[in-house]
Chain A
């Protein structure tokens, strides 16, 4: 594989709170190649959205900060950039779309103004060029009657249309990397597939890298190439979609897959992982998943396992991973 578009190395994010320091993301590393979709998967509170925000350094500081690590975008370390240089990267080389398109657009500005802002800022287009380009972008993301829509406000558009507008805005400068943070969670099921298809199609068209943050394994199976599973701020397993689905090595990944395959569950309709993600203030001393793990051995409760490759490109954070293959 050629040099990755995004290379995240040992990223850690902390939040200061009155109760102490919260380690929201710990020692997270992954990379995404050109034209590749990497899914970052985990429950609420696993740190996946925080990690995504940290890539663009959008973590509000204070209370949050990137405490260590590097984020290399096409070889350039974003954590070392000045605020002004960073603004040149945001929206231009790395763009982001969010979970709730109802809230992510400013209610008082027209669609044209909100997309046009990016074009003026990063590409220096003139007023007439902006209108033409906005209409072109809206057409690209499948918004019907784009000339008319451009003049409208977010409240005139449906949720699906707004997410398309967000995508158009994100793609305005043809970024190298698109971060999609739960892009379909707030949408109707019928619209979800359309939006995912759109992201996938545009990725193919422009050869972007896509970082897809989701808790929905169905979406992962359909759209991603590789998967990073996160638990309590740490990466617990990584692999291609095929490997993860066919041969999950970490008990947490298995639990997620089990919870997703509800139709195959015998007897019970829904299978769940018992318990919840531990509070950041009460992290267990050993493996953070041990309290919920049916397979935990005494060692799991006293020591945190390191990430260990069970195969090339298949790191797993579990003492028992190697013995478990194809179980």
Chain B
């Protein structure tokens, strides 16, 4: 890595700290506005919710203190990367997240890679056949996929590939009890990943297909494409080198922006496919007012999004030499 790039990364990582803290503070205040807390829920679940018992729980969790005290205690702990205890599961939030985060990251990265790569390829194919039947079919298909809700698509894919055809697993992350190791484990997870990653990514495939097509057509109108033709390069080489490299920039930008969006989508998809990621954890934490857990997940999510954006900026610099990281 060049020195300038290294300094850029370092500076950006330092900028992450105040951004993430601000997000955490905002989340904290926002969640406190919602009625009910973990003490209410827990006491209710135990079946003998006397006022005294609920108050006792509240004291235990520190929920009885004034809001500003709770806020400073929470933020102070956050600075030492202590995310506190889950009120309901009586386990450190960090442990719960570390358990689940890898599964979500695998799903997200697979979905975004699938979406970007497939979207780019189809977009290029469509642009090269502008106005012809294949282009029109791609446009219609993209629109259909774009309008399809992910949860419905997930269920339909399960019906088709798991139940009717019986060729792909309907849920989970690995075959239970199989105890695969090494490559067999990787293949097993990949196998289980196909349907959820497709469900999560297909919507974005549609977006990137449309964007890449438009971007390619714009680049095709530029003079250097004529230069490339005058050099004697074939249309295929022109499309997949000269045009593609220039047309990628908007797609990469959008993919970066959509990482956060994707995280939201994965909650839904994880629920449909029983994928053991953060999604299910968020869902439970939300229903049970497990504030510390919820805040912890949101905190980690914001870190993931900010880092993803940094990666996108670096990729941008690789694609376009006119962009200099300062």
Q: A131 to B321: give the CA distance in the assembly, Å.
A: 20
Q: Does B245 contact A (CB under 8 A)?
A: yes
Contact call A90/B232, Cβ cutoff below 8 A: yes
Q: Does B90 contact A (CB under 8 A)?
A: no
Contact call A108/B320, Cβ cutoff below 8 A: yes
Contacts of A201 on B, CB cut-off 8 Å? Answer: none
Contact call B232/A89, Cβ cutoff below 8 A: yes
Q: Which residue of A lies closest to B230 (CB)?
A: A96
Contact call B246/A108, Cβ cutoff below 8 A: yes
Chain A: interface residue total (CB-CB under 8 A) = 29
Q: A87-B234, A108-B246, A153-B322 are in contact. Are A58 and B223 (CB under 8 A)?
A: no
Q: Does B164 contact A (CB under 8 A)?
A: no
Q: A203 to B226: give the CA distance in the assembly, Å.
A: 23
Contact call A107/B232, Cβ cutoff below 8 A: no
Q: Which residue of A lies closest to B226 (CB)?
A: A58
Q: Does B242 contact A (CB under 8 A)?
A: yes
| Chain A positions 162 through 198: 1 when the CB is less than 8 Å from some CB of chain B, otherwise 0 | 0000100100000000000000000000000000000
Partner pick for B223 among A95, A104, A169, CB 8 A cutoff: A104
Q: A58 to B235: give the CA distance in the assembly, Å.
A: 12
Q: Which residue of B lies closest to A117 (CB)?
A: B231
| Chain B positions 211 through 242: 1 when the CB is less than 8 Å from some CB of chain A, otherwise 0 | 00000000000111011111111100000001
Chain A nearest CB: distance from B74 CB in Å? 47
Name which of B229, B246, B320, B322 has the most chain A CB atoms within 10 A of its CB: B229
Contacts of A91 on B, CB cut-off 8 Å? Answer: 230-233
Q: Does B319 contact A (CB under 8 A)?
A: yes
Contact call A155/B232, Cβ cutoff below 8 A: no
Contact call A106/B232, Cβ cutoff below 8 A: no
Q: A121 to B320: give the CA distance in the assembly, Å.
A: 24
| Chain A positions 82 through 123: 1 when the CB is less than 8 Å from some CB of chain B, otherwise 0 | 000001111110011010100111111110000001100110
Chain A nearest CB: distance from B240 CB in Å? 13
Q: A87-B234, A153-B321, A153-B322 are in contact. Are A105 and B227 (CB under 8 A)?
A: yes
Contact call A107/B322, Cβ cutoff below 8 A: yes
Q: Give me 17 A-to-B residue pairs in the complex whose CB atoms sit less than 8 angstroms apart, sorted by A's number.
A: A87-B233, A87-B234, A90-B231, A91-B231, A103-B222, A104-B226, A105-B224, A106-B224, A106-B227, A106-B228, A107-B224, A107-B322, A117-B233, A121-B232, A153-B321, A153-B322, A166-B227
Which positions in B face A, CB cutoff 8 Å? 222-224, 226-234, 242, 245-246, 319-322
